[in-house]
Protein backbone atom coordinates (compact mmCIF):
# COMPACT_ATOMS: atom_id res chain seq x y z
CA UNK A 1 0.00 0.00 0.00
CA UNK A 2 1.48 3.34 -1.13
CA UNK A 3 0.43 5.74 1.62
CA UNK A 4 1.15 8.95 -0.36
CA UNK A 5 -0.14 7.78 -3.75
CA UNK A 6 -1.43 10.65 -5.88
CA UNK A 7 -0.07 13.33 -3.54
CA UNK A 8 2.55 15.94 -4.40
CA UNK A 9 5.20 17.13 -1.94
CA UNK A 10 7.58 20.07 -1.97
CA UNK A 11 10.75 19.32 0.00
CA UNK A 12 13.40 22.01 0.56
CA UNK A 13 17.07 21.05 0.73
CA UNK A 14 16.44 17.74 -1.01
CA UNK A 15 19.90 17.34 -2.51
CA UNK A 16 21.61 15.85 0.54
CA UNK A 17 21.08 14.24 3.94
CA UNK A 18 17.64 14.10 5.57
CA UNK A 19 16.01 16.03 2.71
CA UNK A 20 17.36 13.56 0.19
CA UNK A 21 16.09 10.62 2.27
CA UNK A 22 12.68 12.34 2.47
CA UNK A 23 12.58 12.73 -1.33
CA UNK A 24 13.31 9.00 -1.80
CA UNK A 25 10.87 7.89 0.91
CA UNK A 26 8.07 10.14 -0.36
CA UNK A 27 8.62 8.83 -3.90
CA UNK A 28 8.60 5.20 -2.64
CA UNK A 29 5.33 5.98 -0.91
CA UNK A 30 3.89 7.10 -4.27
CA UNK A 31 4.19 10.90 -4.05
CA UNK A 32 5.34 13.18 -6.85
CA UNK A 33 8.30 15.17 -5.54
CA UNK A 34 9.33 18.78 -6.12
CA UNK A 35 12.57 19.41 -4.31
CA UNK A 36 14.88 22.38 -3.99
CA UNK A 37 18.64 22.58 -3.66
CA UNK A 38 20.99 25.47 -3.22
CA UNK A 39 24.48 24.49 -4.42
CA UNK A 40 24.50 20.72 -5.03
CA UNK A 41 23.41 20.64 -8.69
CA UNK A 42 25.07 17.31 -9.53
CA UNK A 43 23.53 15.53 -6.53
CA UNK A 44 20.15 17.06 -7.42
CA UNK A 45 20.32 15.78 -10.99
CA UNK A 46 21.25 12.28 -9.81
CA UNK A 47 18.42 12.27 -7.28
CA UNK A 48 15.89 13.41 -9.90
CA UNK A 49 16.74 10.36 -12.03
CA UNK A 50 16.53 8.04 -9.01
CA UNK A 51 13.10 9.39 -8.12
CA UNK A 52 11.71 9.16 -11.63
CA UNK A 53 12.94 5.54 -11.77
CA UNK A 54 10.46 4.89 -8.94
CA UNK A 55 7.59 5.71 -11.32
CA UNK A 56 6.59 9.11 -9.93
CA UNK A 57 7.17 12.60 -11.30
CA UNK A 58 10.00 14.77 -10.00
CA UNK A 59 11.07 18.38 -10.39
CA UNK A 60 14.37 19.70 -9.01
CA UNK A 61 14.60 23.48 -8.60
CA UNK A 62 17.60 25.57 -7.62
CA UNK A 63 16.39 28.02 -4.99
CA UNK A 64 17.74 29.75 -1.92
CA UNK A 65 15.27 29.46 0.98
CA UNK A 66 16.58 32.75 2.37
CA UNK A 67 15.01 34.59 -0.58
CA UNK A 68 11.23 35.05 -0.37
CA UNK A 69 10.85 35.84 -4.09
CA UNK A 70 12.65 32.61 -5.02
CA UNK A 71 10.41 30.65 -2.63
CA UNK A 72 7.30 32.16 -4.23
CA UNK A 73 8.64 31.04 -7.60
CA UNK A 74 9.17 27.46 -6.35
CA UNK A 75 5.58 27.28 -5.14
CA UNK A 76 4.20 28.83 -8.35
CA UNK A 77 6.23 26.42 -10.52
CA UNK A 78 5.10 23.42 -8.47
CA UNK A 79 1.42 24.35 -8.95
CA UNK A 80 2.01 25.06 -12.63
CA UNK A 81 3.55 21.63 -13.26
CA UNK A 82 1.51 19.51 -10.85
CA UNK A 83 -1.76 21.51 -10.52
CA UNK A 84 -1.99 20.57 -6.84
CA UNK A 85 0.38 20.37 -3.85
CA UNK A 86 -0.49 18.47 -0.67
CA UNK A 87 2.66 18.53 1.46
CA UNK A 88 5.44 20.98 2.28
CA UNK A 89 8.56 19.78 4.09
CA UNK A 90 10.70 22.70 5.29
CA UNK A 91 13.94 20.80 5.66
CA UNK A 92 16.74 23.07 4.37
CA UNK A 93 19.07 24.04 7.17
CA UNK A 94 22.65 24.90 8.07
CA UNK A 95 24.86 25.17 11.14
CA UNK A 96 27.63 27.68 11.92
CA UNK A 97 28.69 26.40 15.35
CA UNK A 98 30.75 28.75 17.53
CA UNK A 99 30.84 29.90 21.13
CA UNK A 100 28.79 33.08 21.41
CA UNK A 101 31.90 35.09 22.31
CA UNK A 102 33.36 34.14 18.89
CA UNK A 103 30.13 34.34 16.90
CA UNK A 104 29.96 37.03 14.23
CA UNK A 105 26.71 38.80 13.35
CA UNK A 106 26.86 37.08 9.92
CA UNK A 107 27.05 33.63 11.60
CA UNK A 108 23.90 34.55 13.51
CA UNK A 109 22.08 35.99 10.51
CA UNK A 110 22.92 33.20 8.06
CA UNK A 111 21.66 30.49 10.45
CA UNK A 112 18.48 32.35 11.46
CA UNK A 113 17.70 33.40 7.87
CA UNK A 114 18.19 29.90 6.45
CA UNK A 115 16.52 27.74 9.12
CA UNK A 116 13.80 30.02 10.50
CA UNK A 117 13.53 32.57 7.67
CA UNK A 118 13.42 29.77 5.08
CA UNK A 119 10.59 28.08 6.97
CA UNK A 120 8.63 31.36 7.01
CA UNK A 121 9.35 32.10 3.33
CA UNK A 122 8.16 28.74 1.98
CA UNK A 123 5.19 28.47 4.33
CA UNK A 124 4.06 32.03 3.63
CA UNK A 125 4.35 31.35 -0.09
CA UNK A 126 2.06 28.29 0.04
CA UNK A 127 -0.34 28.81 2.94
CA UNK A 128 -3.11 30.60 1.01
CA UNK A 129 -3.24 27.74 -1.50
CA UNK A 130 -3.66 25.20 1.32
CA UNK A 131 -6.35 27.29 3.06
CA UNK A 132 -8.32 27.76 -0.17
CA UNK A 133 -8.70 24.01 -0.75
CA UNK A 134 -8.96 23.19 2.97
CA UNK A 135 -6.15 20.64 2.95
CA UNK A 136 -2.42 20.59 3.47
CA UNK A 137 0.34 19.21 5.61
CA UNK A 138 3.43 21.14 6.67
CA UNK A 139 6.42 19.44 8.30
CA UNK A 140 9.13 21.70 9.70
CA UNK A 141 12.56 20.29 10.46
CA UNK A 142 13.55 21.51 13.90
CA UNK A 143 16.09 19.78 16.17
CA UNK A 144 16.66 18.66 19.74
CA UNK A 145 18.94 21.69 19.76
CA UNK A 146 15.76 23.80 19.72
CA UNK A 147 14.30 21.84 22.63
CA UNK A 148 17.19 21.63 25.08
CA UNK A 149 19.78 24.13 23.80
CA UNK A 150 23.26 22.99 22.77
CA UNK A 151 26.41 24.96 23.62
CA UNK A 152 28.15 26.58 20.60
CA UNK A 153 24.77 26.53 18.83
CA UNK A 154 23.05 29.66 20.19
CA UNK A 155 22.19 30.70 16.63
CA UNK A 156 20.98 27.23 15.64
CA UNK A 157 19.14 26.52 18.93
CA UNK A 158 17.37 29.89 18.61
CA UNK A 159 16.37 29.16 15.00
CA UNK A 160 15.16 25.64 15.79
CA UNK A 161 13.25 26.75 18.92
CA UNK A 162 11.74 29.46 16.72
CA UNK A 163 10.59 26.80 14.26
CA UNK A 164 8.78 24.97 17.08
CA UNK A 165 7.01 28.17 18.17
CA UNK A 166 6.15 28.97 14.56
CA UNK A 167 4.75 25.46 13.98
CA UNK A 168 2.61 25.49 17.13
CA UNK A 169 1.19 28.96 16.47
CA UNK A 170 0.42 28.20 12.83
CA UNK A 171 -1.08 24.80 13.70
CA UNK A 172 -3.67 26.56 15.88
CA UNK A 173 -4.27 29.23 13.24
CA UNK A 174 -5.03 26.78 10.41
CA UNK A 175 -6.35 23.60 12.10
CA UNK A 176 -9.97 24.47 11.34
CA UNK A 177 -9.03 24.57 7.64
CA UNK A 178 -7.80 20.97 7.71
CA UNK A 179 -4.17 22.11 7.41
CA UNK A 180 -1.78 20.32 9.78
CA UNK A 181 1.57 21.68 10.94
CA UNK A 182 4.12 19.63 12.87
CA UNK A 183 7.76 20.08 13.79
CA UNK A 184 10.19 17.16 13.76
CA UNK A 185 13.12 17.29 16.17
CA UNK A 186 15.92 14.91 15.21
CA UNK A 187 18.86 14.21 17.47
CA UNK A 188 22.20 13.34 15.86
CA UNK A 189 21.63 11.93 12.37
CA UNK A 190 24.37 10.59 10.05
CA UNK A 191 24.50 13.29 7.35
CA UNK A 192 27.21 15.68 6.12
CA UNK A 193 26.20 17.97 9.02
CA UNK A 194 27.29 15.32 11.55
CA UNK A 195 29.95 13.58 9.42
CA UNK A 196 31.99 16.79 9.61
CA UNK A 197 32.42 16.35 13.38
CA UNK A 198 35.76 14.97 14.61
CA UNK A 199 35.63 11.20 15.30
CA UNK A 200 36.47 11.66 19.00
CA UNK A 201 33.71 14.26 19.33
CA UNK A 202 31.22 11.84 17.70
CA UNK A 203 32.24 9.07 20.11
CA UNK A 204 31.76 11.39 23.04
CA UNK A 205 28.28 12.32 21.73
CA UNK A 206 27.28 8.65 21.33
CA UNK A 207 28.04 8.08 25.04
CA UNK A 208 25.21 10.48 25.92
CA UNK A 209 22.65 8.97 23.53
CA UNK A 210 20.60 6.33 25.39
CA UNK A 211 20.28 4.27 22.16
CA UNK A 212 24.14 4.41 21.87
CA UNK A 213 24.08 5.16 18.16
CA UNK A 214 23.62 7.96 15.68
CA UNK A 215 20.35 7.91 13.72
CA UNK A 216 19.89 7.43 10.00
CA UNK A 217 18.32 9.96 7.59
CA UNK A 218 15.91 7.23 6.39
CA UNK A 219 14.48 6.93 9.92
CA UNK A 220 13.60 10.63 9.97
CA UNK A 221 12.17 10.32 6.45
CA UNK A 222 9.83 7.50 7.54
CA UNK A 223 8.48 9.68 10.35
CA UNK A 224 7.82 12.43 7.80
CA UNK A 225 6.00 9.99 5.48
CA UNK A 226 3.79 8.95 8.40
CA UNK A 227 3.02 12.56 9.37
CA UNK A 228 2.18 13.42 5.75
CA UNK A 229 -0.06 10.38 5.29
CA UNK A 230 -3.74 9.87 5.99
CA UNK A 231 -2.66 7.79 9.00
CA UNK A 232 -2.01 10.98 10.98
CA UNK A 233 -5.15 13.10 10.40
CA UNK A 234 -5.46 14.23 14.03
CA UNK A 235 -1.79 15.09 14.54
CA UNK A 236 -1.02 18.79 14.49
CA UNK A 237 0.95 21.28 16.57
CA UNK A 238 3.49 18.69 17.74
CA UNK A 239 7.24 18.85 18.17
CA UNK A 240 8.17 15.19 17.72
CA UNK A 241 11.57 13.99 18.89
CA UNK A 242 13.44 11.31 16.93
CA UNK A 243 16.69 11.15 18.86
CA UNK A 244 17.40 7.73 20.38
CA UNK A 245 16.21 9.10 23.72
CA UNK A 246 18.79 11.94 23.83
CA UNK A 247 16.48 14.75 24.95
CA UNK A 248 14.25 12.61 27.19
P1 LIG B 1 22.87 18.54 5.17
O2 LIG B 1 23.93 19.54 5.42
O3 LIG B 1 23.24 17.13 4.91
O4 LIG B 1 21.92 19.03 3.96
C5 LIG B 1 21.38 20.32 4.01
C6 LIG B 1 20.45 20.51 2.84
O7 LIG B 1 19.90 21.83 2.92
C8 LIG B 1 21.16 20.40 1.51
O9 LIG B 1 20.31 19.77 0.57
C10 LIG B 1 21.38 21.86 1.11
O11 LIG B 1 21.39 22.10 -0.28
C12 LIG B 1 20.14 22.51 1.71
N13 LIG B 1 20.34 23.94 1.94
C14 LIG B 1 21.25 24.54 2.74
N15 LIG B 1 21.12 25.88 2.66
C16 LIG B 1 20.13 26.12 1.77
C17 LIG B 1 19.54 27.29 1.24
N18 LIG B 1 19.95 28.51 1.61
N19 LIG B 1 18.53 27.16 0.35
C20 LIG B 1 18.10 25.95 -0.05
N21 LIG B 1 18.62 24.79 0.41
C22 LIG B 1 19.63 24.88 1.30
O23 LIG B 1 21.88 18.65 6.43
P24 LIG B 1 20.99 17.55 7.16
O25 LIG B 1 20.37 16.67 6.16
O26 LIG B 1 21.76 16.99 8.25
O27 LIG B 1 19.88 18.49 7.79
C28 LIG B 1 18.60 18.63 7.23
C29 LIG B 1 17.72 19.36 8.24
O30 LIG B 1 17.64 18.59 9.43
C31 LIG B 1 18.25 20.72 8.65
O32 LIG B 1 17.20 21.61 8.86
C33 LIG B 1 18.96 20.43 9.96
O34 LIG B 1 19.05 21.56 10.75
C35 LIG B 1 18.05 19.37 10.54
N36 LIG B 1 18.67 18.53 11.54
C37 LIG B 1 19.75 17.74 11.24
C38 LIG B 1 20.33 16.95 12.21
C39 LIG B 1 21.51 16.06 11.96
O40 LIG B 1 22.03 15.51 12.93
N41 LIG B 1 21.94 15.87 10.76
C42 LIG B 1 19.80 16.95 13.59
C43 LIG B 1 18.67 17.80 13.78
C44 LIG B 1 18.13 18.55 12.79
P45 LIG B 1 22.78 22.20 -1.12
O46 LIG B 1 23.56 20.98 -0.82
O47 LIG B 1 22.30 22.24 -2.54
O48 LIG B 1 23.46 23.45 -0.69
* pLDDT (tens digit per residue) in 60-70: 999 999 999 99
pLDDT band (50, 70, 90) for residue 113 = very high
Of residues 194 and 32, more confidence is placed in 32
pLDDT band (50, 70, 90) for residue 196 = confident
Given ligand 1 and candidates 11, 15, 18, 184, which is best to mutate, with the most ligand atoms within 8 Å of its CB? Answer: 18
Which atom of ligand 1 is nearest the CA belonging to 215?
40
Q: What is the pLDDT of residues 149-163, one digit of tens each?
A: 999 999 999 999 999
Please count the other Cβ atoms lying within 10 Å of the Cβ belonging to residue 190.
Answer: 17
Which atom of ligand 1 is nearest the CA belonging to 144?
43
Q: Is the CB of 189 under 6 A from ligand 1?
A: yes
3-state helix, strand, coil in the chain (%, to 5): 50, 15, 35
- What pLDDT shows up at residue 197? 85
Superfamily (CATH H level) for 8-241: NAD(P)-binding Rossmann-like Domain (3.40.50.720)
The rounded percent of the chain whose pLDDT value lies above 70 is: 100
Average pLDDT on 51-56 reads 97
59: left (phi over 0), alpha (psi -120 to 50) or beta: beta
Q: Out of 79, 156, 208, 234, pick the active-site residue.
A: 156
Q: Is the CB of 224 under 6 A from ligand 1?
A: no
- The reply to whether 68 belongs to the active site is no
159: left (phi over 0), alpha (psi -120 to 50) or beta: alpha
Segment (H or E) for 220? helix 217-228
Average pLDDT on 226-239 reads 98
Given ligand 1 and candidates 39, 92, 115, which is best to mutate, with the most ligand atoms within 8 Å of its CB? Answer: 92
Q: Is the CB of 48 under 6 A from ligand 1?
A: no
Nearest residue CA, atom 18 of ligand 1? Answer: 64
Amino acid sequence: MKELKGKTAIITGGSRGIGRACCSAFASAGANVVFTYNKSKKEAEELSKEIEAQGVRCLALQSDVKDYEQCKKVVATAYEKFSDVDILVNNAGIVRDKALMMMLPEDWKEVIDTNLGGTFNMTRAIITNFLKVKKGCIINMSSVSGLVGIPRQTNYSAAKAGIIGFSKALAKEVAAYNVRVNAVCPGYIETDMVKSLREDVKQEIVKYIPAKKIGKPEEVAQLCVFLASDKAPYMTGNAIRIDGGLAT
